[in-house]
Amino acid sequence: MTDGPIDERDAAMSELLGIRSSIDNIDAALIHLLAERFKFTQKVGRLKATHGLPPTDPDREKRQIARLRDLAIDAHLDPAFAEKWFNFVVAEVIQHHEEIAGTKDTAGPAGS
């Protein structure tokens, strides 16, 4: 005779491990996608530096925020979270662009 609650707990733990494995796989994919994204933003930074373009583009950032908020809504993701994520990434990108251009802004990144 088996003990019902223990079997249920074992089944729950097994399911939990499977879900966590899926989350780990998604996290790995996100890291690889971010690395790929940053490879392209580094190219953008070098291009901007070579041609004397500013490290920020507030108009593009506004368009991207609107686009990502719409995508988030379609994906049933909180659009405010998508915007926060984007602003975090943009701050890092701008820092890289400033470093590439040799114009590190001591006041901090602008144009979120």
pLDDT digits (tens, 9 = 90+) for 48-104: 999 999 888 999 999 999 999 999 999 999 999 999 999 999 999 999 988 888 865
Q: How confident is the model at residue 107 (pLDDT cuts 50, 70, 90)?
A: very low
Q: Looking at residues 15-42, what average pLDDT do you find?
A: 97
Cα–Cα distance for residue pair 71/32, rounded to 1 Å: 21
pLDDT(111) > 90: no
CB-count exposure of residue 98 (10 Å: 0-12, 13-18, 19+): buried
Contact status, residue 65 vs residue 80, Cβ threshold 8 Å: no
Cα–Cα distance for residue pair 90/1, rounded to 1 Å: 59
Longest dimension (CA), the chain: 77
